[in-house]
Structure 1
Amino acid sequence: MSQLHVRHVRDYLDREYRDLVDLSDLDGRPAGEKESAFFSRALGALAVQHLSGCDKSVAVGAIVDGFDDGHVDVVLSQDRPPVLWLAQSKWNERGNAGFGVGDAAKLREALDNITNGEFAGFNSRFRALEASIDQVISNPQVKIVLVVALLGDNVLSAAVQAVFDKIMRDARDLVSIRVVGLQDFHDIVRSAAGVGDASVNLDLRLDSPGYTEEPYKVYQGLVNASQVADWSERYGNRLFDKNIRAALGLTEVNQALLDTLLSRPEDFLYFNNGITILCDNLGRTARHAMNTHGPADLVLEGASVVNGAQTVHCVAEAMRRDPDNAGKARIWVRVISLENCPDRFAEEVTKATNTQNRVEARDFVSLDQNQARIRDEFALSLHKSYVIRRGEREPEPDAGCSVVEAALALASIHRDPAIVARAKQGHERLWRDDTYEKLFGPKVNAYRVWRAVSLLRAVKEEIAAAQDELIGRASQVATHGDFAVVNLVSRQLDLRGIGDADVDWATIVEQARKLAAPTLANVILSVDLHAPNNYVQTIFKSEEKARQILGDHSTTRPTTFNYMATLPDVYRATKPERKSNAVGVLVDANAISDGTSLEFRAQTGRERRELLLWLTEDPRRGRATWVNDRRAPLLWEGDGKQYAPTALVLHMFIEATGSSPKTVQGTSRWTVHGRGTLVDIANLVREDLTE
Structure 2
Amino acid sequence: MTALPTNFLNILRNKLEKEFVPHLPELLNKERPKADQDKKQLSRAFSGFVLHKMLNIGIADAAKSVVDDFDDNGLDAIHYEATSKTLYLVQTKFREREQFDEGDAIRFRSGADLLLGQRYDRFNANVQCRKDELNNAFDEAERIQLVVAYIGTGFSAHANAALKELIADEDHHEFGRLQPDVAEYGPDKVQADLLAEQSVGVVNDSLRLSKWQHLGGHRDTHIGVALLSDLVALHKKHNKALYERNIRYFLGSRESDVNKSIQETLRTAPDEFFYLNNGVTALADLVEAPQGTKANKLLRLRGLSVINGAQTISSAAEFVAQNPLCDISKAKVLVTVIKADSEGAFGRSVTRARNHQNPVSTGNFASLDPRQEELRRELNYLGYSYHYRPEATPRNAEVSASIITIEQAMKALALFEVDSRYPYWLKNEISRFQNAESSEYKSLFTQALTGAQLVNKVKFFRFVRDVLSSNAVATRGAEGLFYRHGIFVVAAAMAKKFRNRVNEADVLKQEQINQLLSIPLDECRQHCWDTARPIVGQGRSVLTFFQNQGNTVRLLDACMATTNGLVQSDAYQALKNVADKNEAFPQERVFRYLTTQAPQI
- TM-score under structure 2 normalisation? 0.34
Give the greater-gyration-radius structure (CA): 2
